[in-house]
Structure 1
Amino acid sequence: MSSDLNLPNGFARQAGSLFCEDTQVSDLAEQFGTPLYIYSQTAITDAFLTWKQAFGDARHLVCYAVKANSNIAILRLLASLGSGFDIVSGGELERVLTAGGDAAKVVFSGVGKSPAEIRRALEVGIRCFNVESSSELYLIEKIASERGDTARISIRINPDVDAKTHPYISTGLKENKFGVNAQQALELYRYAQGASHLQPVGVDCHIGSQLTEVAPFVESVQHLRDLVLQLRKSGINIEHIDIGGGLGIQYSDEAIPSPSELISAVRAELDPLDAELMIEPGRSIVGNAGALLTKVLVEKAGDTKYFAVVDAAMNDLLRPALYSAWQNIVEVSVTQGSEKNTYDIVGPVCETGDFLGKERSLSAREGDLLAVMGAGAYSFSMASNYNTRPRAAEILVHGSHTHIIRQRETLSSLWQDEQIPEALL
């Protein structure tokens, strides 16, 4: 397969050079250095609006999953488009607020919310807590009571549905740590209905990430539909149904359902309930809007294969090492007739698992630039300083304009919070 196959929205090749919108990618590398994350503002906007349009005339709220990419410039862009936000920590809540997001459009997911996080969420008036256990529900009730508040809650259902994705990002099976089963949920809803400081307003489900089929979504929402009908018979009013996120993106040539295909199938099951529909996409909004630029440091011939050692590493892009994930890697500049070899693209980190791609047919001479596509989600947000490597800068591209939305870390900043005891001075 050609590495240029299916370049995503926001990226194109012109006269051999890779462009992000109207900006030549090699110019970005020269100006800002490598490794470098670049994002297309137009691609992010288009992806979000595609989700909005997919709902048609249905009442809905698209809540961007902040964990996918939490840069405050991207959050501000999405807030300006009317996005809600799905958060999983107090830190993500503060990022949303700093970016100008509306707390009343925030849903708080996650299995381990701390008392301080719950208090802060109540203080700013978030839309809803997605509750994942009885202990969490009682803790939210206790803190709401202490504050004289009423906490709006939704119970996250674990439907025991196989999302057919990597086991590390499957969240809807009974052996996963997320959510509760339908019987437990009924008991928790009945408890919440009778509690003075809890208000049950929704049901929630999220079965996994990088899903490539509609069928698991449909199966999960059928569980939600049945539960809502039971709750309403019991006099518990459910205002919204949150189907979670997880729709995949095209990293290679896999077939991915469109948002409209997914929502059409979901509405067929849920429209009779006349509830507001909520969804929590992350990767499908920002994933293909980003790329990681890297420079070839060393072209190395091993005993059995060629290696292209680049200046990006597993600390910049963890997915290949963590999930054996495949992401397209392309040359930033293509020269007519240039010789290609089959390389493993590896970083300088001292781990055998430090690779960005294996068995790639590329022209990758020393000093050449490569772009790892599909790096807008779970790339910078999972980056680390392993091997005392500064995290790379982030650039937002809009047409021919470029904006630094995160400066490259300096070496000295990596140990600024560390101290040497006086006894060692």
Structure 2
Amino acid sequence: LEEFAKYIDVAGARIVGLHAHTGSGIFNPFNWEQVGNCLAGLLELFPHASYADLGGGLGIPEKPGESPLDMSELDAAIGRVKQQAPQLQLWLEPGRFIVAGAGALVTCVTQTKGKGGIRYVGVGTGMNSLLRPALYGAYHEIVNLSRLAEPASEVVSIVGPVCETGDRLGSDRLLPKTREGDVLLIANTGAYGYVMSSRYNLREPAAEVVI
């Protein structure tokens, strides 16, 4: 960075902002304090910087037992960075945090079968409507809305209708005994859901309804 700063001066350019992004699904509020302190430490090299973008990755509880990100701790952590570098505007990228929980994908069970010791639940939509599980193994909670009062009793894999082995919305999920015609809800699809959908295999994605 020292070498880079020299070339910036030679070129007559000015660095007006600093940015870092450490990952996704982060629940440790002190992560952004560490990032902020790191960027604030670069002000000696880049004295014209007026803002620091601390990145995103604010975690969203998705798996059973996960606790939400402590926003009061995050606020305090960012406040300490501001005290260290009061001349900097501090930015955070909300990413999925604001809207993910505002959306859900609802679909019907079209078939159930067993094969190779695995119980499969086939549904009416798949990676054409929600690509995240197939693309990078994202976890979305799945609920059988038709059997909320029944105990979860079988481990199943929920798969879509697209002719790809990766068209899987969830693996090894404990659900009530599920039958054709049941309605399943796939949670936290309000971000990177519909916008990443496609008409792959000429299958229409699920319609988006805003309430």
Q: Where do residues 225-264 of structure 1 align in structure 2 (5 Å cutoff)? A: 225-232=40-47, 236=48, 238-252=49-63, 253-264=65-76
Q: 1:226 to 1:302 in 2, by over 3 A?
A: same
Change in CA separation of 1:346 and 1:269 when aligned onto 2, cut-off 3 Å: same
Matched, 1:214 2:29: yes
Would you say 1:375 and 2:189 are equivalent positions?
Answer: yes
Determine if contact 1:225/1:270 at 8 Å carries over to the other structure: no
Deviation at 1:270, TM superposition (A): 3.1
Task: Report deviation, 1:372.
Answer: 0.5
Task: After TM superposition, give the deviation of residue 267 of structure 1 in Å.
Answer: 2.2
With the length of structure 2 as denominator, give the TM-score of the two structures.
0.86
Are 1:283 and 2:102 counterparts?
Answer: no
Aligned to 2:5: 186
Pairwise CA RMSD:
2.3
SS in 2 for 1:394: coil
Q: What is the aligned partner in structure 1 of residue 147 from structure 2?
A: 334
Q: Which residue of 2 aligns with 1:271?
A: 83
Deviation at 1:337, TM superposition (A): 4.4
Maintained 8 Å contact 1:342/1:361? yes
Which residues in structure 2 correspond to 1:102-251 (within 5 Å)?
A: 182-183=1-2, 186-187=5-6, 189-190=8-9, 194-195=12-13, 200-232=15-47, 236=48, 238-251=49-62
* 1:304 corresponding residue in structure 2: 117
Pair 1:284–1:188, CA change in 2 (3 A): farther
Could you tell me which runs of 5 or more consecutive residues in structure 2 were left unpaired when the two chains were aligned.
none
Q: Matched residues in 2 for 1:332 and 1:383: separation?
A: 23
- Give the Å deviation of 1:251: 0.5
Deviation string for 1:131-155 (max 9, x for gaps)? xxxxxxxxxxxxxxxxxxxxxxxxx
* Cα pair distance change 1:209/1:396, threshold 3 Å: same
Q: How many residues align structurally?
A: 208
CA separation of 1:388 and 1:186: change in aligned 2, threshold 3 A: same
User: Is 2:199 the counterpart of 1:385?
Assistant: yes
The match for 1:175 is none
Q: Which residue of 1 aligns with 2:135?
A: 322
Whether 1:348 aligns to 2:161 is yes
